[in-house]
Structure formats: C-alpha cells, structure tokens
Amino acid sequence: MAKTVLLTGGGRGLGRVTAEKLAVAGHRVLLTARTGIAAQTAVDQIHHGRSHLRVEPRAVDLSSLEQVRAFATAEAARGDAIDVLFHVAGIMQTSKTRRLTVDGYEETLAVNALAPFLLTALLRPALELAPAARVITVSSRLHLPDSRGAPVDFDFDDPQLQRGYNPDRAYKNSKLAVLWFTYELQRRLSGTSITANAICPGFVPTTAAASTTGPMRLLMSFVMPHMPFATSVADATDSFVFMALDPSIDGVGGAFYGERHPIESSPQSHDIQQARRFWRLADQLTGLT
C-alpha cells in the first residue's frame, strides 16, 4: 500500500535521491528543503517527464526552531496521516569558527538533533493516524569513540561547545545525541504502533564534498568515491528506502542500522541516564514543555 513519507533534507544529496526513489515506487513524498525555491526545484526535477509522481514541496529552515514549530503545526493541522517521518537533513561543519542559529544555539547540534526532536514531537498526532508509523533519523558511525578526528565528548555542562569548539566534535556529539533521542523515543513509544530507528548511510564522498572546498572537494568528488571503504549514493539511498518501507522491520524499534542490517552503536549511546538527560536538555532548549 502507498505510504506518505515526510522527508527532510530533500533539496539535494541523499535526501533528494531518496525522495525520488520513494516517489517512483508509488509513494507520496512530502519533500522539505530550507527554502521554497529549493524544495520546488527538487520537486520539478523529480517530476521531469513523470508528472504523475506524487511529490510535494515543503519549506522549513531547520536551524530556526520557530520555523520548525510553525511548519510542524501547520502540517499536523492538515489532518493527514504520516506513515514515515525521515530526518535526513543534517550539516557537517568544516569551519573552525563556532556558528550559532537564530536561537543562539550551536548550529550542528540544533540542526542535527534539536530539530528532529521538536519536529517529531509536534508531528506525533499525524504519526498516530497511521496504522504503523516509522520515525527514522540519520546518525553516523563517527559517534564511535575510535573514529577519526577529534573524539566525541558530549559535556552536559557545555552542550553548545562554548569551550574548545571543534567541528568534528560538534558533528560527533550531534550524532551521539541522535542515538540518545532515538533510543529514548522508542522507550517512550512503548505500547504504540510507532517505531523509532537510526541509520548510518556510510561514508558517501560525493555528498560530503558539498561541505568542503578547494582541493579537498576535488578529492572527495573524484578520488574518494573509488576507495573500497566509500559508499555510493545509490547504495546509501537504497538503505534509506529499506528503512522507510521494508516489511522486515515492521514493529522493530530502538535499533541502529547500516547497509540494511542492524549494527552496534557505542556503549555511551545505550546509557539510559544520559539519554534521559539529553531528552530533558532538548525539551528545555526547544521550549517543547
């Protein structure tokens, strides 16, 4: 049966390709991008020569909690069921300068973790209208303690990284936070027909290139894709479609996936007390309560 999928980050990259694959498979896709122009452009590209595909543009800047709140409230008010809420949108900073959102929050944490937290909460009425809904959020193996670059170090006394900012640490902290959010959300969804899971798309150099400049962008675009450890856009988006639709994970929640099978996340990600502490922090920062 056809499903309705609300997918963030559909303007480009993995989100854009995933939206197209879902639409071609016969599903209705609500594609969000940062601006209305970006969303409409992506929809027009998907519709090119295939006007029958059901893809609808939505505009929301996830770095603004006011925009997230307004968008989610309006979407829930439509009264339509959402079968799959797929949080694909995310950022990976390379600048060594700490960047803040309009709300005054560190941008990586705000977009990658706080926006999905708030959006999910406000869209829960639409998820509850579906026979069995899925919430899927993109995390990363980079949250693991032995990954390359600056180590993950989520300090609850300094979640905004006002001291010792590092873009690698900001990204890894946000992806650890995504797992805390996912696992705690699943615990809170116990007894409902909604499930929550996270996925790592793997290392996709061609999309990572968008966050780089100069020689590094050339390396990411033309050399790294041929490395054995690289994941192609086709494979990564096939995994995303699997998470959205595959019946083998009906009723499965609280898991972390990669390459279409469950993978292990860090011991810290499974710390229930830290997950609940992050939930309280996100609740406070988003003003949800």
* Domain ranges (residues) in the chain: 4-202+231-286
For residue 106, the 8-state DSSP code is B
What is the percent of the chain where pLDDT is above 90?
Answer: 83
Burial of 168 (0-12, 13-18, 19+ CB in 10 A): middle
Cα distance between residue 22 and residue 47, in whole Å: 13
User: What pTM, to 2 d.p., does this model score?
Assistant: 0.93
pLDDT at 190 over 70: yes
- From start to end of 128-179, where are the E strands? 134-138
Between 49-58, 196-205, 232-241, the lowest mean confidence (pLDDT) is in 196-205
Average pLDDT over residues 196-210: 77
Cα distance between residue 176 and residue 268, in whole Å: 8
Cα distance between residue 203 and residue 231, in whole Å: 5
Between 112-126, 142-156, 222-236, the lowest mean confidence (pLDDT) is in 222-236
Tokens at 127, concatenated: 């998820």
pLDDT at 203 over 90: no
Please, what's the b/e burial string for 3-15 (b: 16 or more CB within 10 A of its CB; e: otherwise)? bbbbbbbbbbbbb
What kind and span of H or E run contains 69? Answer: helix 65-77
Average pLDDT over residues 195-203: 92
- For 223-259, what is each residue's pLDDT tens digit? 556 555 667 889 999 999 999 999 999 999 999 999 8
- For 28-53, what is each residue's pLDDT tens digit? 999 999 999 999 999 999 999 899 99
pLDDT recorded at residue 206: 61
- From start to end of 51-176, where are the E strands? 55-59, 84-87, 134-138
CATH of domain 4-202+231-286: 3.40.50.720
Torsion sign over Cα 35, 37, 40, 44: negative
For residue 148, the 8-state DSSP code is S
- Cα 46-51-54 angle, rounded to 5 deg: 70
Give 149's pLDDT tier (boundaries 50, 70, 90): confident
Residue with the two structure tokens 């008010």: 77
Average pLDDT, the chain: 93
Cα distance between residue 241 and residue 31, in whole Å: 14
